[in-house]
Amino acid sequence: MSAQVARTGQPISRVDGPLKVSGTAHYAAEYAVPDLLHAVVVDSTIAKGRIVAIDASAALALTGVVSVITHDNRPHVAQLRYAYKDTVGPPGGPFKPLFDDKVHFDAQPIAVVVGETYEAARDGAALVRVTYEREPHQTDFSAVLDQSYKPSLPRIAIARPPKPRGDVEAATAQSTFKIAQTWKSVAEHHNPMEMFATTVAWEGEGKITVYDKTQGSQNVQLYLKQSLGFKLKNVRVVNTYVGGAFGSGLRPQHSAFLATLAAKALRRSVRLMLTRQQMFSLCYRPDAAQDLALACDEAGRLTAVRHHAVCATSPFEDHQDVTVNWSGMAYACPSAHLTYELAKVDTCTPSDMRAPGAATGQFALECAMDELAYAAGIDPLELRRRNFVDHDQNLDKPITSKALEACYEQGAAAFGWSRRSMAPGSMREDHELIGWGMAGGVWDARMAPTPTRARVTLSADGGLEVAAAASDIGTGTYTILAQIAGEAFGLPPERVTVRLGDSTLPFNPVEGGSWMAASTGAAVQKACDRLKAALLKAARKQEGVRHLKADQARFDQGLLIHPGLPTGAIALAGLLAAADMASLAATGTAVMDMIGMLKHISYTHSAVFAEVRVDEELGVIRVTRVVSAIAAGRILNPKTARSQILGGVVMGLSQALHEEALTDHRLGRLMNHNFAEYHIPTNADVEEIEVIFVEEQDPKASPLGVKGVGEIGIVGVAAAISNAVFHATGKRVRDLPITIDKLM
């Protein structure tokens, strides 16, 4: 790495990259802890009912098996459901692992086998015999659609669909062009590279350090304290590095609870890693059935939108995503009627998955816009241009910035959209039908809902440390924070050490909602400002120095440069030594601008263009080109930000063509819970992707003008591909994934 000063806006490589590629970065299951026991989870083999008996004798007779923990012999756990609530859980009663004899879903954890070795625990788990009393289950989402209901409690107030506006019926009746269709999407599973895993280091007297795969160390800390009765100060949760998560690690996972339960029972250190198969049964993006109707006038101006979505949830919690609201605010439209309901299936509670709700709802909306464009005979991009709006009609507030027109323009130019011919099936090359489709996208640009803190410490050697309990789930948080702090003090990135992922560090909420760059970034900036003020104060105490105006001070390469100093500059390390300080620290807190949010609202936007080639005879679909133009405010690091968009595009491609969770409803069991049969794109499925960040300055969106890029990349991708498939083949496939059989 060069000794150049870190700057925001520079495409520097991840500061944690060398550690990760050399295997030096440790993940939750990789921490070496002395005297470690290994735990393996036994899953239920029925989807609903109760456990009559668990026979662990054969398992316990096996050499190396230490214990088999079940609901019958577990140590004391909290009784009230409230104790199992985490900071981001939905309304309802969370699942309580190993609490009682009830089985709520297939592959529910019902026992933990602990062994001296992983192999002993695994073999023991295979020997546990369970007798059940079955009850009828229902895992078929399509069979419960008629039992849908409106959730009584919203997850957060803003998630509720807005009140209807205008007269949708009358407006539709009077409109020249209209479409109404139903879109369906199946459950998707997050499948990050790192498994759910926990290593609990038992430190005696009820004191534990928990290395956990999570998006929020302090969320897990609170959960373990409440559910398992530890003192908060005795639980330290560490998630220094996280191998992807996509929302699966927002809520504490059962691996954390079960490993800690075993450690508490045995007063020993315990490691538990769930299998890839087990991960499938613990969280998913909910299935959805969406009815969407659009109408427009002669000129292609929208007159009415009606969007009704039903999404899956579990019997015990009302998981909710913002799914339909987007349809009332993405485009100018005088009348809108948006409704959102849930239907219960006997599965675990669904969870947030990258751009939760938006990836689902805007798939339907953006496909509907394409269908309307064809009904009206207007170019799909032109139709969207004609309906541009910079006011949030749901909330009746101005949007702080919306460079979507620049996304349209630059994306279309890079893609070559003007060369597209409108008629389906009109572009071909040999035996391949070529389809060009596009979609718009919008996602929240909001700061974290709770205050976010960071500490910056200057040490005697002139090095800077940034510390926050934020999680870097692979997105580049370490890097952008090093850039922010390095820029503030004119230091190269290697002089800045960033410490994250530890519940003992300054408070941060879970890493989610694309809010961490804006929130933790602003906290670091604030901490740097306060550290500079403290350094100036220290400088004023120097011999012969009195008045140092703050606005004339400059910090560069470990120096405080000021015309009021006798020598013009002073080394920061020297300042500390003179004041007899080993180090000097300052903290900063970033808070959402609540007053500002009463007046306006911020979003990120995108325009996605996709090219597909469909084999005329075989129906094989290839996505050969995607251009994603993004308006997301200030981009702190174009390299890591681009990677976020690339990942989002690949996940959108996956949503459109590959991912399909298949349940055998007779058993209530997921049948393809492995990478052989649950398809995700491989390198060969991903061809050209171009990412464009359009210029957008928005000081109102957040103190640094940052909007966040973790989720916007996936929004609209499935629709753009779906629309391209129609353009190639003339066939509308409205249920995802678009597999070959549906094109035949």
Task: Please name the residue ranges forming H helices in 630-703.
Answer: 638-657
Alpha carbon distance 76, 302 (integer Å): 59
Alpha carbon distance 731, 130 (integer Å): 49
Pair of tokens at residue 38: 């290994």
Q: Does 350 bind ligand MOS (CB under 6 A)?
A: no
The CB-of-190 to ligand MOS minimum distance in angstroms stands at 9
By beta-carbon proximity to ligand MOS, the closer residue of 328 and 357 is 357
DSSP 8-state symbol, 633: B
The CB-of-258 to ligand MOS minimum distance in angstroms stands at 22
Alpha carbon distance 332, 722 (integer Å): 23
Give the residue, chosen from 352, 487, 659, 696, that forms a contact with ligand MOS under the rule CB under 6 A.
352
Of the candidates 148, 84, 104, the one whose C-alpha atom is nearest the C-alpha of residue 323 is 148
The CB-of-710 to ligand MOS minimum distance in angstroms stands at 7
Alpha carbon distance 420, 175 (integer Å): 28
CA distances (Å), origin 437, targets 191, 277, 416, 631: 28, 35, 12, 20
Contacts to ligand MOS from residues 27-46, by CB under 6 A: none
By beta-carbon proximity to ligand MOS, the closer residue of 404 and 516 is 516
Alpha carbon distance 393, 328 (integer Å): 7
Q: Does 656 bind ligand MOS (CB under 6 A)?
A: no
Alpha carbon distance 673, 279 (integer Å): 8
Residues 406-435, mask of contacts with ligand MOS (x by CB under 6 A): ------------------------------
Alpha carbon distance 728, 417 (integer Å): 14
The CB-of-697 to ligand MOS minimum distance in angstroms stands at 25
The CB-of-715 to ligand MOS minimum distance in angstroms stands at 12
Burial label for 299, CB within 10 Å (0-12, 13-18, 19+), is exposed
The CB-of-555 to ligand MOS minimum distance in angstroms stands at 35
Alpha carbon distance 253, 189 (integer Å): 14
Alpha carbon distance 726, 743 (integer Å): 10
Is 119 noted as a catalytic residue in this protein?
A: no
Residues 443-472, mask of contacts with ligand MOS (x by CB under 6 A): ------------------------------
By beta-carbon proximity to ligand MOS, the closer residue of 77 and 250 is 250
Q: Does 247 bind ligand MOS (CB under 6 A)?
A: yes
Contact of 641 with 704, CB cutoff 8 Å: no
Q: Does 90 bind ligand MOS (CB under 6 A)?
A: no
Pair of tokens at residue 339: 């409704």
Q: Considering only the stretches 101-109, 340-348, 350-358, 493-501, report the one whose residues sit in contact with ligand MOS under the rule CB under 6 A.
A: 350-358
Contact of 48 with 104, CB cutoff 8 Å: yes
Q: Does 250 bind ligand MOS (CB under 6 A)?
A: yes
By beta-carbon proximity to ligand MOS, the closer residue of 194 and 352 is 352
Q: How many CB atoms lie within 10 A of CB 618?
A: 11
Angle at 502 between CA 199 and CA 469, to 5 degrees: 145
By beta-carbon proximity to ligand MOS, the closer residue of 209 and 214 is 214
The CB-of-136 to ligand MOS minimum distance in angstroms stands at 33
By beta-carbon proximity to ligand MOS, the closer residue of 352 and 487 is 352
Give the residue, chosen from 97, 361, 437, 513, that forms a contact with ligand MOS under the rule CB under 6 A.
513
C-alpha neighbours within 13 Å on the C-beta side of residue 720: 34
Alpha carbon distance 113, 111 (integer Å): 7
Q: Does 354 bind ligand MOS (CB under 6 A)?
A: yes
The CB-of-394 to ligand MOS minimum distance in angstroms stands at 20
Q: Considering only the stretches 347-355, 402-410, 447-455, 672-680, report the one whose residues sit in contact with ligand MOS under the rule CB under 6 A.
A: 347-355
Of the candidates 704, 719, 703, the one whose C-alpha atom is nearest the C-alpha of residue 653 is 719
The CB-of-85 to ligand MOS minimum distance in angstroms stands at 18
Q: Does 512 bind ligand MOS (CB under 6 A)?
A: yes
Q: Considering only the stretches 352-360, 368-376, 417-425, 494-502, report the one whose residues sit in contact with ligand MOS under the rule CB under 6 A.
A: 352-360
Contact of 537 with 715, CB cutoff 8 Å: no
Q: Does 357 bind ligand MOS (CB under 6 A)?
A: no
Burial label for 599, CB within 10 Å (0-12, 13-18, 19+), is exposed
Residues in the chain: 744
CA distances (Å), origin 194, targets 89, 213, 350, 502: 22, 8, 19, 18
By beta-carbon proximity to ligand MOS, the closer residue of 247 and 441 is 247
**At which residue do the structure tokens 């006798």 appear?**
566
Helices (H) and strands (E) in the chain, counts: 18, 31
By beta-carbon proximity to ligand MOS, the closer residue of 440 and 513 is 513
By beta-carbon proximity to ligand MOS, the closer residue of 215 and 479 is 215
> Total residues at the site for ligand MOS (CB under 6 A)?
9
Buried b (16+ CB within 10 A) or exposed e, 698-712: bebbbbbbbbbbbbb
The CB-of-321 to ligand MOS minimum distance in angstroms stands at 9
Give the residue, chosen from 124, 192, 328, 356, that forms a contact with ligand MOS under the rule CB under 6 A.
356
Q: Spot the catalytic one: 194, 487, 511, 711.
A: 711
Give the residue, chosen from 288, 311, 353, 656, that forms a contact with ligand MOS under the rule CB under 6 A.
353
User: Amino acid identity, residue 293?
Assistant: A
Q: Considering only the stretches 118-126, 351-359, 491-499, 688-696, report the one whose residues sit in contact with ligand MOS under the rule CB under 6 A.
A: 351-359
By beta-carbon proximity to ligand MOS, the closer residue of 324 and 353 is 353
Contacts to ligand MOS from residues 191-220, by CB under 6 A: 215
Q: Considering only the stretches 153-161, 232-240, 353-361, 526-534, report the one whose residues sit in contact with ligand MOS under the rule CB under 6 A.
A: 353-361
By beta-carbon proximity to ligand MOS, the closer residue of 437 and 474 is 474
Q: Considering only the stretches 68-76, 290-298, 346-354, 605-613, report the one whose residues sit in contact with ligand MOS under the rule CB under 6 A.
A: 346-354
Q: How far is CA 28 from the centre of its chain?
A: 19
The CB-of-352 to ligand MOS minimum distance in angstroms stands at 4
Question: Which residues neighbour 727 within 8 Å (Cβ) at sequence distance 6 or greater?
Answer: 420, 424, 427, 435, 436, 437
Name the site residues for ligand MOS (rule: CB under 6 A). 215, 247, 250, 352-354, 356, 512-513
Active site positions, annotated: 711
